Amino acid sequence: MYRFMLTQPNDEDKIYINLISSLAGQYVSRRPHLIHLIKEVLTVMDLKGARIVIERDMGRTIGNTDIVATSEKDTIYYAQPLKTEAYWRFAKNRYPQPSNKLTIILERDADGNYEVSDTWIGPSVPPFPGDEHATAASKQYWETHALAQDTQSIQSKTITADCPY
């Protein structure tokens, strides 16, 4: 696995990102400026726990969030993005919106270091239903929110209008 070292906030913890095969790496590949923002947030963190979800208001617009609130007027479809098993909810003809929030998910590895497993511009939201980290709030949240169309590479054979969850 390719590990790009981001920072070492203390003597014990190293924080890295897999730029090749992780969800975080896929997202950052289209937004390389996030590397600096992630470092800005994590350099001053005291990390504890096996899985850490961080939402930080950066105090300035840092890009566009793909997450949009939906209504009955939206045309919704579901599909599996590349390299994922869960179905994600998408809204046709919706566009990303400016955001000043950055979400970072860290997971402790077998060596005791932290990997940025996912990151995105926008607020912290529950994982999609069907994801290994889905919670009781996942289905309820994603019934009223979606990702803007064309923000993710999807497996075209998985596109459906029927809710899979």
pTM, rounded to two decimals = 0.90
How far is residue 133 CA from its own chain's centroid? 12
Is position 164 within any domain? no
Residue 91 in domain: yes
Q: What is the DSSP string of 82-144?
A: TT--S-EEEETT---EEE-EEEEEEEE-TTS-EEEEEEEES---PPPTTSTT--HHHHHHHTS
Give residue 89's domain range. 4-158
pLDDT tens-place string over residues 83-125: 788 999 999 999 999 999 999 999 999 999 999 999 999 999 9
- Whether residue 165 lies inside any domain: the answer is no
Residue 163 counted as domain residue: no
Q: Is residue 38 one of the residues assigned to a domain?
A: yes
Confidence band, pLDDT 50/70/90 cuts, at residue 1: low
Number of domains in the chain: 1
Residue at 59 is within a domain? yes
